[in-house]
Amino acid sequence: MDALLVVNAGSSSLKFQIFGVLDAGLELRVKGQIGGIGTRPRLQAKAPDGSVLVDRNFEPDVVSDLPTAIAAARDWLLTLEGFTLRAVGHRVVHGGPDYAEPVLIDAAVLERLASYQDLAPLHQPYNLAPIRQAMAINPDVPQVACFDTAFHHGHPEEVNCYAMPRRFYDEGVRRYGFHGLSYEYISQRLRDVAPQIAGGRFVVAHLGSGASMCALRGGHSVETTMGFTALDGLPMGTRPGQLDPGVVLYLILQRGMSAQAVSDLLYHEAGLKGLSGVSNDMRDLLGSDDPHAKLAIDHFVYRCGLNAGMLAAALGGIDAFVFTAGVGENSAPIRARIADTIAWLGAELDPAANEIGEMLISTPKSRVALYVLPTDEELMIARHTLALLKSRSA
Ligand code: ADP
C-alpha cells in the first residue's frame, strides 16, 4: 500500500504516524512516538484499533538525543511490511515571513528554514533534524514541510506588526501566530459538520499544554493570540501568555537574571505550573484543593474570556466558538466556565450536552453555537503532503 509518514519532532519526543493512501482518501494505520528522550526513552506505537504494535524501553545513553531517537524509530519503521513510502510530511513550527503554504523541501529550502532557527530556537532545530536525516538516507523520497505559522500568513501589516521601528519588522520581528495546522483542520472539519457556520465568523480555542485562540472569517485566519513566539496570548501549562515586556526588563536589569534564565523561566516554569506551584496539568489543578491551583484555573478562564472578547471584536461579532485540544476536548468544567465568559456575546451552554462531550454543546436558542471538535494536526500534515505530491505529478 502507498503510504505517507508524518513526523512531529520536539526536544523530548518524536511523534510519527503512517497513513495509507487509498482511493477513498487517507487512512491512519500506525500512530507512535518515542518519548522521554535522554531520560526514560520509550518507543510505543499502536494500530488505529488500539492494538499495541511496539512498546520498548531504551537505556538513556542509547536514545540520548533526537538523532538517536530518529534512528531507533526508523529501525522499527523499517520492520513494518506492506507499506511503500511515497513521502514524508514534517511539522515545522516556523515558516518565517516567506512560507504561506507547505513546501517541498530541497537543500535551498532547508537552508532557509534553518535561518528561522533564531525565531523559534526551542522548536525549529528539532523539527529540522529528521528532515536532514531523511534527506540523507532517502534522497528520493519527497519531504514536505508544513508550518504552524502558514495559516496566519495572510494577515495584513496592521495586524501582524508591532509598534516598533520599521527595521525590526523587516528583519522578521512580526506577529506570526501558531497552531495553524490545528486551526486549518478545524476549519475544514466545520465545513463537514456545520457548513452554515464554516463560512461565517467564529473563534477556535486550541487549549492544550500550549494554548491559543484564532478568529476566523470564511475559513481564513484574521487574528490570533500568539505572536512573534508561542509565548504570547493565553496562559499555558508552563508559559505565562501575555506579559508586560517591562517584567522581562525587571528580571534582567533589577534581579540580574541572565537572558537564558529568563527564557527558561518563561518557557518552562511559568504559566499554570508557576502560578499554582502544583502542576502544569489542568487535570491535577482541577483535582487539587490548593488555593493556588484554584487561582491558576481562575486566571486561565479569565484570560480565555478576555481573549475571546478581543477576537470577537476583531470579527465584529461571532456565530460560533469551538473548543479543541487536550483541555478543550476533555474538560467539561473548563468549557462550561469559558462559555460563561462569552455569555454576553449570546452563548448559552447546554450543560447536559457539555457534560457528555457532544459535538454541539449550546442550546438551540444560543446566538453563538458552541462546538467541541477534536483536532488532528497530523492528518492535516498528511493532507497537505498528499496534495503537494499530486500537484507535482499533475
Ligand atoms: P499538547 O499536544 O500541546 O502537548 P494536548 O492538546 O494533548 O497538548 O493537551 C494536553 C493537556 O490537556 C494536558 O496538559 C492536560 O492539562 C489537558 N487535559 C487532558 N485531558 C484533560 C481532562 N480530562 N481534563 C482537563 N484537562 C485535560
Among 49, 55, 106, 148, the one annotated catalytic: 148
**11 pLDDT higher than 80:** no
- The helix (run of H) or strand (run of E) holding residue 245 is helix 245-249
Q: Are 144 and 101 in contact (CB under 8 A)?
A: no
pLDDT exceeding 70 applies to what percent of the chain?
100
Q: Are 54 and 76 in contact (CB under 8 A)?
A: yes
In this structure, what C-alpha cell is assigned to residue 320? 460560533
For the chain, how big is the Rg over CA atoms in Å? 21
CA distance 54 to 32: 9
Residue with the smallest CA separation from ligand 1 atom 12 is 326
pLDDT tens readout for residues 68-105: 999 999 999 999 999 999 999 999 999 999 899 999 99
pLDDT mean over 117-138: 89
Q: Are 304 and 338 in contact (CB under 8 A)?
A: yes
> How far does the centroid of ligand 1 lie from the alpha carbon of residue 237, in Å?
9
Tell me which residue has cell 501566530.
177
pLDDT tens readout for residues 252-283: 999 999 999 999 999 999 999 999 999 999 99
**Which one is predicted more confidently, 11 or 216?**
216
The response to whether residue 198 sits with its C-beta less than 6 Å from ligand 1 reads: no
pLDDT tens readout for residues 156-176: 999 999 999 999 999 999 999
**383 pLDDT higher than 80:** yes
CA distance 320 to 61: 49
CA distance 104 to 334: 40
> How far does the centroid of ligand 1 lie from the alpha carbon of residue 326, in Å?
3
**200 pLDDT higher than 90:** yes
- The helix (run of H) or strand (run of E) holding residue 189 is helix 180-193
CA distance 190 to 303: 25
Q: Which atom of ligand 1 is nearest to the CA of 282?
A: 16
Q: Which atom of ligand 1 is nearest to the CA of 286?
A: 25
Q: Are 42 and 73 in contact (CB under 8 A)?
A: no
Q: What is the mean pLDDT of the chain?
A: 95
183: helix, strand or coil: helix
At residue 120 the predicted structure's pLDDT band, cuts being 50, 70 and 90, is: confident
At residue 10 the predicted structure's pLDDT band, cuts being 50, 70 and 90, is: confident
In this structure, what C-alpha cell is assigned to residue 209? 499544554
The response to whether residue 330 sits with its C-beta less than 6 Å from ligand 1 reads: yes
Q: Which atom of ligand 1 is nearest to the CA of 272?
A: 16
pLDDT mean over 284-303: 98
**pLDDT at site 359:** 98
pLDDT mean over 190-194: 96
> How far does the centroid of ligand 1 lie from the alpha carbon of residue 242, in Å?
20
**138 pLDDT higher than 90:** no
**pLDDT at site 12:** 80
Is 264 known to be catalytic?
A: no
